[in-house]
Amino acid sequence: MFRGFRTFLLRGNVVDLAVAVVIGTAFAAVVAAFTTAFITPLIALIFGKHDAFNGLSFTVNGVQFPFFMIIDKLIAFIATAAIVFYLVVTPINALIARSRREAPADPTTKKCPECLSEIPLAAKRCAFCAQPQPV
């Protein structure tokens, strides 16, 4: 029973997923810090208030709903998605596309210099105009 569990844990995809979760969490913390340190103050400069989103809330039956938290998290999400797309997804897709490009096949035909017809490379005479072909 323990052997099967150990085999499951040591499979490549489980370890890769665990590493991805840890790296993703650390990356999310960095983006959240970037949003708090740079994006939110830039928005404050635009709106002219130090905490542009801090006062955004509404009250229903004496209960306050601060939706500025949602806006802050939404900005962090959009920043994270943009960074991941432009710095990870786009370069990876370019590398994959570059590796999938096939080298052009060697030509099997050539043009007759006299009549411009397509003839095999090994032809000694053109099949269309009967001109001798240079070797």
DSSP string of 18-34, one letter each residue: HHHHHHHHHHHHHHHHH
**What's CA 6's distance to the chain center, in Å?**
33
Specify whether the CB–CB gap between 43 and 53 falls below 8 A.
Answer: yes
- Residue 125 pairs in a beta bridge with 132
SS3 content of the chain, % helix, strand, coil (to 5): 60, 10, 30
Q: What is the pLDDT of residues 86-129, one digit of tens each?
A: 988 899 888 888 888 777 777 889 999 888 899 998 888 998 89
What is the pTM assigned to this prediction? Answer: 0.48
The pLDDT of 2-7, averaged and rounded, is 80
DSSP 8-state class, residue 125: B
Calculate helix-pair angle for 12-34, 68-84, nearest 10 degrees. 120
Helix (H/G/I), strand (E/B), else coil: 110: strand
Whether residue 63 is predicted with pLDDT greater than 80 in this model: the reply is yes
The Cα 74–Cα 78 span in angstroms is: 6
Which residues, other chains included, contact 106 with Cβ-Cβ below 8 Å and sequence gap of 6+? none
pLDDT of 51 reads 61
